[in-house]
Homo-oligomer: A and B are copies of this chain.
Amino acid sequence: MKIDPDKKIDLSAQIANAIRDAIVSGDMIVDERLPSEAELSDQFQVSRPTVREALKRLAAQSLIRTQRGATGGAFVNRLRYEEAYGQQVTTSTLLLSMNEVSFDVACEARYALERACAPLSAERRSPDHLATMRAEIHRQAQPGLSDESFCASDVTFHRALVDGAGNPVLSYQLAGAVEAMQPLMNMITFTARSREAIVGLHTRIADALEAHDAGGADQALVELEAYTLTLGRDVMAARAKG
């Protein structure tokens, strides 16, 4: 961890990569303190601003955290699920919006992943998860709800479904897929009739999970995917025409 030739890429990027590799490979463990900025600049033979740019790169990825004061410094950060969620959602959202991912493709991915969770969720969902789903269903049935709020509630409902599987790795992976869909879903205008259909399917999902009925949940998800797809296609068709 001392390589800094006259490569073409930034010194700060090289230093950040060197430290990142040390962290990922396990050479530096969680909560271990990095050398101070002055020591690093001495060690890498660069100036302090360059070291700082490297540290900011790492901080942006939540690989380190910094603390001021006498016993302060930069520390290897324990990457928590909540932080990782946020980055995942941001990245997934941008991927979808910048790469002209069609509604169909995104929808297919989302429901394929959710259906992977459904059997586990049917087995393990807690009363808490069921309560969250019931509450969101109730909210979605309110007449005055805006389209944005309806979508937000939809996301909460589906996240409860995913979390019900009791597998944090699955929850983490799914967070991106489900939440990144929200901007696409927000384009849909939910009529009273379509809301009724969705609430009905949500109810069937919650009922099936409560009854530990994996097959029923899967079937309802398949129908929900098909219905969501038609709603999305209607929007696209209307947009193409208008």
Contacts and interface: CB of A to CB of B under 8 A. Distances in A.
Given A56-B60, A88-B91, A95-B169, 10 more contacts: A13-B59, A20-B90, A26-B97, A53-B56, A60-B61, A79-B99, A105-B167, A106-B169, A108-B169, A112-B165
Interface stretch (A114-122, A188-196, A231-239): A114-122
Interface string A63-79: 10000000000000011
A95 B112 contact: no
Interface in A69-107: 78-81, 84, 87-88, 90-99, 101, 105-106
Say what secondary structure dominates the interface of chain A: helix
A201 interface: no
Nearest to A80: B99
Nearest to A183: B26
A124 B101 CA distance: 18
Contacts of A16: 60
A40 interface: no
Contacts of A23: 94
A45 B58 CA distance: 25
How many copies of this chain does the complex contain?
2
A112 B116 contact: yes
10 contacts: A24-B90, A53-B56, A61-B90, A79-B91, A81-B95, A101-B168, A108-B120, A112-B165, A112-B170, A173-B176
A115 B116 contact: yes
B112 A98 contact: no
Contacts of A49: 49, 52
Nearest to A165: B112
Interface in A144-202: 165, 167-170, 172-173, 176-177
B79 A84 contact: no
A109 B170 contact: yes
A12 interface: yes
A22 interface: no
A30 interface: yes
Contacts of A87: 61, 87, 91
